Structure 1
Amino acid sequence: MSVAILGGGLSGLSAAYYLLKSNGKLSIRILEGSSRLGGWIRSNKLDNGVIFEEGPRTIRPRGLAGDNTLSLVQDLGLEDRITPIYAHQPAAKNRMVYAKGKLHSLPSSFGGLFKTTPPFSKPLIMYLLNDIIASSKRVEDESIYDFVNRRFGQDLADYLISPLICGICAGDSKEISVNFLMKGLFEYEQKYGSIYKGLVRNLFNVEKHELSELGVKAKREKWSVYSFKTGLETLPKTIESHVRSRGVPIELNSKCTKLQLSPNNVQIQLGNKMVAPEHLISSISSQELSRLVRDQHPVLSDLLGNIRNVTVAVINLQFGNLRLREGFGFLVPPKERLPVLGVIFDSCCFPCGDDRTVLTVMMGGAWFGRLFGDDPGEEELLSTAQKYLKVTMGVEEAPREWKVSVLRDCIPQYTVGHDGWVREIYRYIEANRLPLTLCGSSYHGVGVNDVIYSSRNAAESVCKSINAMK
């Protein structure tokens, strides 16, 4: 059977890897519209050895999807190239928010729950205990802001959850579905009337899975997050080398301009060339796929189009030796009305020499167009980043090196109703017997682990269908 994979980002490359692992006899090809692979993951190494990460930079080792990635890393022989951040290090313990004109460290220990820590007006434990008396609300879905506000109070919604959503998906917590980050807690409320009751009822119902060898090591050594010595792009580049060595052709600059899908028939127009695999795995964004299927499948196109994306400006900066509070960095609550989503202290996370401080400023997201218009220049974005580093951190020194990147439509937004749309998308594909399988960040999670795990599930689903036809 022949399978084409649309998109050569981390998801598409991972899909090829797992297809090979499940069925080495498949004819697989990757079709990438741009001139490079790896998608939003890009590690730019400067002449002095400093790495500027444009997109994701770390991976969490926990959970089923986290251990799946560790197993992949182990299979690829990358264990010796890992650089972890351990739980005891400042980059793991010290997470901050900028609020009310100051940087504030978030509580990082159990004891911290019982202390009043600005910007909060009372100990965090008091907000958490509010769940016991909060009234429940029967809804199919709601924004994560509204959910947290109802159950725990406005301070937690404004100064914890809202900046967290900015950091995870550059989104507005007042639009993002509670099922994106707190699905289990939301279901506890809907089923039992409160989160507390749900936690008690399910205290011993924790799902366990056997850890990979590398997962055991990560747990034993208490990794908080990890990356690679040569940057996170090491991962997609290694997957690329692996699938190429197994004979998978990868066609760059092969942008799909037209797509025809009908039972047992796929036709992909690539400029003047047409390819017709027996099955298609789409790892491109739902917005891109929506445009491609509009003429033939308008209902599917509308469903896919509901999942919109946001644009993020990423400004990497290298300074001399700045005196900073040690930590991973800080996030900015939307309530502060700054153009900055957050700042990552890269050189604290992964030291690069005593005389260098590396920071990454993230701006825009759900507010990009309102803040910067359609096509801001590099100088405007750099100037804005420098201005707000001075406002938030007192940095007055000019950077020695910098890179400005505008990642257009880079992060999907799981707005209220997302789960329902995804279910309808799958129902449509199944009802119309389309030879199409979906993976990537548009559907089941935007993190590196989520994307890889979705690709594994997609590949295994395709192989399962093939076996069922035999």
Structure 2
Amino acid sequence: MARAVVLGGGISGLSSAFYALQEGVPAKFAKVTLLEASERFGGWLHSNKYKDGTVFDYGPRSFRPQGNLNTIDLALKLGLRDDIIIAKKGDILDNRYIYSDMTLHELNIGVNKLFKVIPPMKKRLISYILQDIRAAKGKEDESVHSFVSRRYGTDAADFLANPMLRGIYAGDVKKLSIRSTLSILYEMEQRKGRTLTTKYPKSPSVHKALEDYVKDWSIWSLRAGCQQLSDALVEYLSRPDMPTELHQNTPCRKLTFKDGAAVVTTDEGETTADHVFSSIYSGDLAKILPDEHGELAEELRGIPAVSVIVVNLEYPVESPVKGFGHLLPSSEDGPVLGVVYNSCVFPEQDRHKANGKISRFTVMLGGEWYDDLLERLDGSLNPNGIARLAIDVISDQLNITEKPLKVDVIIQNDCIPQYLVGHGERLERIFKYIKDKKLPLSLVGSSYKGVSVNDCIYNSKLAAERLTGLPPYIAPDIPQKHFVR
């Protein structure tokens, strides 16, 4: 009777357990045990719904359907159709801003703007297109800043790529890998010699009917927040007819391999598994591997992660700016990454009978600039001090001076892995080691091939489907897209 153990009860671990038990998986398991170290399942999918109906998300707050339909397919399979909320294309979600020089600049880029300067950019839009056409092909991998500067110009790197990657990775574009973070641009350059095109390679979809179902969507979420997706997975896996065991407050203390099997050690004892899906942060996996696999552990430790402080606020006023939100280049205010205009995006998550007179915002702080944030807070992570900083951000950048009705602060430690230059080569070494040593181990989760929820769920599905009796191996060149957080 084949048995699998899943390490980590976040969205990647829960998805791995779900897909490992689906029909059509070649090595379908008779039993799956999931071990979560903390007191709750869901990982970074963490939502709070107040009695008055207000919903705050502490991690991801929306999903994109375009590019990968697997997440919406999963939500429908879990019976969440009636709880899906959407923002359609062409709505105010198209309004996105960069806050630079103490001013909000709308990123309205289109064909009709070709011969205009769009602040905070310094040149006419056509200039960047011409530079991309003339640019020579670059090296195997380089930083996002280097790539964008070479193909479009320094100000494009500083005022477009810089804030965008801070919004996705909370990271520094001068360190992040173009190949591993913006792989579509990297692949287009390698194949076509240019990157600006209207024809990008299509990503895998579930079926045509589902494509039609979401064709008008910009982004989507769930009425009770993104955690509703992980909650539905927990409910499904906890059914009496499911061959699963879900354990909270049960960290894996040691992971060893013997005679083609894996031995998982917890405080309660040892469990022998035919296969292990590890969805925990790579650095944490490195800590539980034995000395004999020190080479693998060293590679896993080489994937750093940054911490982000998320502050959710609710105000008794209508948002003065309509749109998805705004991001800041690091030159503007390093520790302040950006602000999401939640009520503009999903008014369904406002308090009951808000009637447009309520605005929810999320202020994102820290990331690669976490130490700078600590210095600004005088070395203290007191929630009151963090709240005051976030309130100042809303006041200064959106001109809202009213006192907030709610302020909710959460610190997310090591929440976003950083794909530094050379990350792709590191993955090749990691997965080659697993293949060569014939380890019954699949690596899933945000440490490897995408930090978005879409990436995590899709890679968990691929990992389950690849178990054909041969040692699992995830090809390092699978293209991935990254989506709204």
**Partner deviation per Cα, 1:328-370 (whole Å, 9 max, x = no partner):** 1100001113421000011111112222111110000111123
| SS in structure 1 at match of 2:429 | helix
Q: How far apart are the structure 2 equivalents of 1:113 and 1:61?
A: 29
Instruction: Identify the residue that residue 163 of structure 1 maps to in structure 2.
Output: 163
On the 8 A contact 2:143/2:421 being kept in 1, the answer is yes
The answer to whether the Cα contact below 8 Å between 1:19 and 1:459 also exists between their aligned partners in 2 is yes
Secondary structure of the corresponding residue to residue 249 of structure 1: strand
Scaled by the length of structure 1, what TM-score is found?
0.92
| 1:82 counterpart (77, 81, 84) | 84
Deviation track 1:419-457 (CA, whole Å, cap 9, x = no partner) reads: 111111000011111111111111110001000001001
Match in the other structure for 1:124: 125
Q: Secondary structure at the match of 2:16?
A: helix
Relative to 1, partners in 2 of residues 1:207 and 1:60: Cα closer, same or farther, differing over 3 Å? Answer: closer
Task: Name the SS for the 2:15 alignment partner.
Answer: helix
What is the letter of the counterpart of residue 256 of structure 1?
C
Aligned to 1:368: 370
Aligned-partner Cα distance in 2 for 1:309–1:106 = 29
Moved more, 454-463 or 414-423: 454-463
User: Residues 13 and 279 of structure 2 are in contact (CA less than 8 Å); yes or no, is this contact kept in structure 1?
Assistant: yes
CA distance in 1, matches of 2:120, 2:18: 46
For residue 255 of structure 2, what is the aligned residue in structure 1? 259
Amino acid at match of 1:301: A
Residue number in structure 2 paired with 1:72: 74
Deviation of the 1:125 alpha carbon: 2.8
**How far 1:399 sits from its partner (Å)?**
1.1
State the 1:258 CA deviation: 1.7
Residue pair 1:343, 1:362 contacting (<8 A) in 2 also = yes
Distance apart, 1:73 and its partner CA? 1.6
2:422 maps to a residue whose letter is G
Indicate if the aligned counterparts of 1:310 and 1:408 stay in contact, CA closer than 8 A.
yes
Residue 298 (structure 1) shift: 1.0
Match of 1:315 in 2: 311
Distance 2:382 2:180 in 1: 33
> Mean Cα displacement is larger for which, 258-267 or 327-336?
258-267
What amino acid is aligned across from residue 110 of structure 1 in structure 2?
V
Pairwise CA distance, 1:397: 1.8
Secondary structure at the residue paired with 2:466? Answer: helix
Counterpart check, 1:454 vs 2:450:
no
Please state if 1:411 is matched with 2:411: no
Give the SS at the match of 1:36. coil
SS of match in other structure, 2:434: helix
Matches within 5 A, 1:40-51: 40-51=44-55
Rounded Cα–Cα distance in structure 1 between residues aligned with 2:169 and 2:279:
18
Q: What is the root-mean-square deviation of aligned Cα atoms in Å?
A: 2.1
Counterparts of 2:387 and 2:200, CA distance in 1: 51
AA in 1 matched with 2:90: H
Q: In the aligned structure 2, how far is the partner of 1:178 from the partner of 1:464?
A: 34
The answer (yes or no) to whether the contact 1:319–1:401 under 8 Å persists in 2 is: yes
Match of 1:277 in 2: 273
Q: For 1:189-246, what per-residue CA distance to the aligned partner results, in whole angstroms no more than 9, with x for missing partners?
A: 34554446xx59xx69757756353332111xx1000001121111111111111112
Alignment of 1:77-226 (within 5 A): 77-90=79-92, 92-137=93-138, 139-191=139-191, 193-195=193-195, 209=205, 211=207, 213-219=209-215, 222-226=216-220
Structure 2 CA distance for partners of 1:210 and 1:272, relative to 1, 3 Å:
closer
Partner in structure 2 of residue 382 of structure 1? 387
* Structure 2 residue identity aligned to 1:271: D
Which residue in 1 is equivalent to 2:332? 336
Sequence identity percentage = 36
1:356 match: 358
- Measured in 1, the distance between the counterparts of 2:315 and 2:468 equals 50
Aligned AA (2:231):
K
Aligned partner of residue 244 in structure 2, secondary structure? coil
Show the counterpart of 2:59.
55
Q: 2:229 aligns with which of 227, 235, 248?
A: 235
How big is each residue's C-alpha offset from its partner over 1:246-285, in whole Å with a ceiling of 9 and x where there is no partner? 2311011101122212441312221242222121110101
Q: Judge which range, 294-303 or 424-433, deviates more.
A: 294-303
Give CA-to-partner distance per residue, 1:129-156, whole Å, 9 cap, x none: 211222333x221001110001101111
Once the 2 structures are TM-superposed, how far is the Cα of residue 165 of structure 1 from its aligned partner?
0.2
Distance 1:59 1:35, change over 3 A: same
Letter in 2 for 1:26: A
Shift of 1:9: 0.4
Contact 1:103/1:392 (<8 A) preserved:
yes
Distance 2:206 2:73 in 1: 11
Deviation at 1:45, TM superposition (A): 0.7
Give the secondary structure class of the aligned counterpart of 1:390. helix
Partner of 1:33: 37
| Amino acid corresponding to residue 343 of structure 1 in structure 2 | V
Q: What is the aligned length?
A: 457
Q: Which runs of 5+ in 1 are unaligned?
A: none
- Secondary structure of 1:330's partner? strand
Structure showing the higher helix proportion among its residues: 1
Q: What code does the residue aligned with 2:117 have? A: T
In structure 2, runs of 5+ residues without a counterpart are: 473-485
Alpha-carbon distance change, 392 to 449 in structure 1, aligned in 2, over 3 angstroms: same
Return the offset for 1:178.
0.3
Taking a change above 3 Å as real, the CA distance of residues 192 and 320 of structure 1, as seen in their structure-2 partners, is closer
In 2, Cα distance between the equivalents of 1:341 and 1:455?
A: 29
Equivalents in 2 of 1:204, 1:135: separation in Å?
A: 20
Structure 1 distance, partners of 2:395, 2:287, is 42
Pair 4,87 (structure 1): closer, same or farther in 2 beyond 3 Å = same
Bigger mean CA offset, 415-424 vs 295-304: 295-304
